[in-house]
Structure 1
Amino acid sequence: MENKLPQTIEVIDLCLLAGKIMLQCGAETYRVEDTMTRIAASLGIPSSHSYVTPTGIIFSIDGTEPAKLIRIYDRTTDLYKVTVVNGISRKISSGEISANEAFKKLMDIEKANYTFPLYQQILAAAISSGCFLMMFLGQWKDFIPAIITGGLGFICFVYIHNLVKIKFFSEFMASVVIGLSAYILVSLGIGVQLDKIIIGSVMPLVPGLLITNAVRDLMAGHLVAGLSKGAEAFLTACAIGTGIAIVFAFY
C-alpha cells in the first residue's frame, strides 16, 4: 500500500492540474470532468469522481485517499491551452507519454503565455467592431468611427481591469467610453448611425463563449455550473447595457 500511495497521489495531482488549466481557459464543465476521468482511467484508476464548478474542482477516487480541492480564482479565454491539454490527455490514453512527462508538460503549459500581444488584441477588437457594424447593416461611412470607438472601448476595458480586478466594473466603464465616443463622433459629423456604431463596438465585450458554455453545460446536466455561468453572462450584459444607458440618459 505504501508503494502505491505516491503513484496514486501523483495521478490525482495530474488530473487536477489538467482540469484546472482547462477550466481557467474557458473549457466547458463536462469537458473538464471527462478529461480528468479519462486521464485517471488510463493511468490505472478506473473509479474516479469529480465535481466541477466555475470556481472550484473536487476530485477523488475510491479508496482511502482523501478528496482534493482546487479553487479557481481567475478565468479567461484561451482555447489553445484547452486544445493542448486535450492533446496531452489523448497521448496519455494511447500510452505515448508517462504520467511524469505529462505532469511536466502541463506545468509548462500553465506557466506559458500564449495570448497575443496587447496591440494585436486592440487591433483585432477595433477591426471586428467595424465588421460587426457592417454585419448589422450599417453604412460604410460609419466603418472608421466604429473601429475608433471599439478600439477605445477595448483599451479602457484592459487597463481598468488591470487596476481593478472586477470584470463587471471594467465592462461597465468600457461601455461608457464606447457610448461617449460614439456620441462625440456622430455630433462632429464623422459618424451617422449612433445605434449601429454602438452595437458594433460593444460586440468584442459580449460574453459569447460564456453564454455558449452555459447552454452546453445545462444540456449536459451540469445545472449548477450552467446556471452560474448564465448568471455571470447576464451580469456582464447588464454592465454593458447600463453603461450605454447612462450615456443616453445624459445626452
Structure 2
Amino acid sequence: MNNNKLLTYDIMEVCLLAGSIMLRSGAETYRVEDTMMRIAESFGVKESHSYVTPTGIIFSIEGSEPTKTKLIRITDRTTDLYKVTRVNSISRKISSGELTLEKAYHLLKELETANLTFSIKIQVLAAALASGCFLIMFQGDWVDFLPAFIAGGAGLWSVIYIHRLVPIKFFSEFLASLIIGLLSFIFVKTGIGQELDKIIIGAVMPLVPGLLLTNAVRDLMAGHLVSGLSKGAEAFLTAFAIGSGIAVVVSFL
C-alpha cells in the first residue's frame, strides 16, 4: 500500500513538473492539460484530472485509494517554445515506453533548470533586424531602416533590463515603448529618419504580444474560457502599455 502511494505521488510530481515547464514557457493551457493526463495514463493511471490556468495548476489522481490532489502556483511566464517542444518529446517517449518514471523525472528536472534561450545580445540584434524588416513590410522607405533598427533593438533591451530592476511587466513595456517613441522622434527631428509613424510601428513590433493573443484564441476555441479570457486580458494590458508609451511621446513632443 505504501509503495503504491509513493508511486502515485511520484507520477503526480512528473506530471506537474512537465505541466509547469510548459506553462512557464508559453504553452496553451489545453496542451498542458492534455500532456499531463497522457503522461499519467502512460504510467498506468486510469483516471486523472487537471485544471490549468495561467497562474496555477491543479492535478488529481483517482484510484482505489483516496483521491490525491496537488496545487502548484505559476508566478513567472516567458516565451520559450523550444522547452515546450522538449517536454512534448519527453512525453512521447514516456507514452512509447522508452522512459521510466525516474528517468523522465530527471530529464524534466534538467530541462527545468536549463537555460536554452539565446543571449541578450542575440535577442536584441534579432529584435533590431526584425524591426527594420517590419518597417519595409509596412511600405516604409529604406532610409528609415537604420532608425527602426536602432529603436527596435533599444526597445527590447529596455524591456529586459527595466524588468530586472522593476519586476512589473507592464511598467517595463510602457517605458520601453516610451524610449522607442523618443528615439524615433529624435531620428526624424535630426533628419536621420523621415516617416515617424513607420519607424515607430516597425520598432514596437517585437514587443507586440502575438503569442498571448494566439494562445488566448486557441484556448477559447478549445473551451478553456477562464484561461482564454485571462490571457486575452494580459495581451490587452500589454498592448495598452505599449500604446500609452507611444501616446505620451506623440502628445507632448
Q: Is TM (by shorter chain) over 0.5?
A: yes
Distance 1:97 1:234 in 2: 41
Residue 113 of structure 2 aligns with which residue? 111
Residue 210 of structure 1 aligns with which residue? 212
Residue 22 of structure 1 aligns with which residue? 22
Residue 250 of structure 1 aligns with which residue? 252
Three-state SS of the structure 1 residue aligned to 2:60 is strand
Offset of 1:66 from its aligned partner?
A: 2.7
Superposed, which structure 2 residues align to 1:26-41 within 5 Å?
26-41=26-41
Contact 2:48 2:59 survives alignment (8 Å): yes
Q: Does 1:145 align with 2:118?
A: no
Amino acid at match of 2:25: C
Amino acid at match of 1:120: I
Offset of 1:231 from its aligned partner?
A: 0.0
Amino acid at match of 2:39: I
Contact 2:62 2:68 survives alignment (8 Å): no
Superposed, which structure 2 residues align to 1:7-156 within 5 Å?
7-63=7-63, 64-156=66-158
Unaligned runs of 5+ residues in structure 2 are: none
Unaligned runs of 5+ residues in structure 1 are: none
Residue 166 of structure 1 aligns with which residue? 168
| Equivalent pairs, count | 251
Distance 1:177 1:214 in 2: 28
Deviations 1:219-245 (A, max 9, x none): 000000000000000000000000000
Offset of 1:2 from its aligned partner?
A: 1.9
Offset of 1:152 from its aligned partner?
A: 1.2
TM-score w.r.t. structure 1 length?
0.99
Distance 2:125 2:228 in 1: 32
When the two chains are superposed, the root-mean-square deviation of aligned CA atoms in Å is: 0.6
Distance 2:218 2:3 in 1: 41
Three-state SS of the structure 2 residue aligned to 1:67 is strand
Three-state SS of the structure 1 residue aligned to 2:71 is strand
TM-score w.r.t. structure 2 length?
0.98
* Poorly superposed stretches of 4+, deviation over 2 Å: none
Deviations 1:176-221 (A, max 9, x none): 0000000000000000000000000000000100000000000000
Distance 1:120 1:170 in 2: 20
Pick the aligned partner of 2:196 from 194, 200, 204.
194
Amino acid at match of 1:111: T
Offset of 1:6 from its aligned partner?
A: 0.5
Amino acid at match of 2:4: K
Offset of 1:155 from its aligned partner?
A: 1.3
Amino acid at match of 2:203: S
Distance 1:65 1:164 in 2: 41
Three-state SS of the structure 2 residue aligned to 1:3 is helix
